[in-house]
């Protein structure tokens, strides 16, 4: 039963961070598309703003890996 709970905790760590990232990127992407229609010179800034939420998934992956490797 302990292995099931550890696996569930790791799945939650990466799953919730992925859902949060998808939600954030959908909002940023919609706003970025509107901004690019008016000011195309801001494309670099929009790309950076879209890349920032990706760190949530990376951190979720790191936490999931730590959960799986440290609990025995």
- The residue to which tokens 């879209």 are assigned: 50
Higher pLDDT, 1 or 7: 7
Residue 1's pLDDT is: 83
Confidence band (pLDDT; 50, 70, 90) for 2?
confident
Residue 14's pLDDT is: 95
Residues 43 and 41: their CA atoms lie apart, in Å, by: 6
Residues 49 and 59: their CA atoms lie apart, in Å, by: 17
Residues 72 and 52: their CA atoms lie apart, in Å, by: 33
Residues 6-64 have pLDDT tens digits of: 999 999 999 999 999 999 999 999 999 999 999 999 999 999 999 999 999 999 999 99
């Amino acid at each position: 039963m302990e292995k099931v709970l550890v696996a569930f905790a790791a799945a939650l760590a990466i799953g919730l961070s992925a859902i949060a990232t998808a939600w954030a990127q959908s909002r940023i992407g919609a706003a970025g598309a509107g901004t690019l229609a008016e000011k195309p010179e801001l494309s670099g800034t929009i790309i950076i703003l879209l890349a920032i939420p990706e760190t949530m998934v990376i951190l979720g992956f790191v936490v999931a890996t730590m959960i799986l490797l440290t609990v025995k």
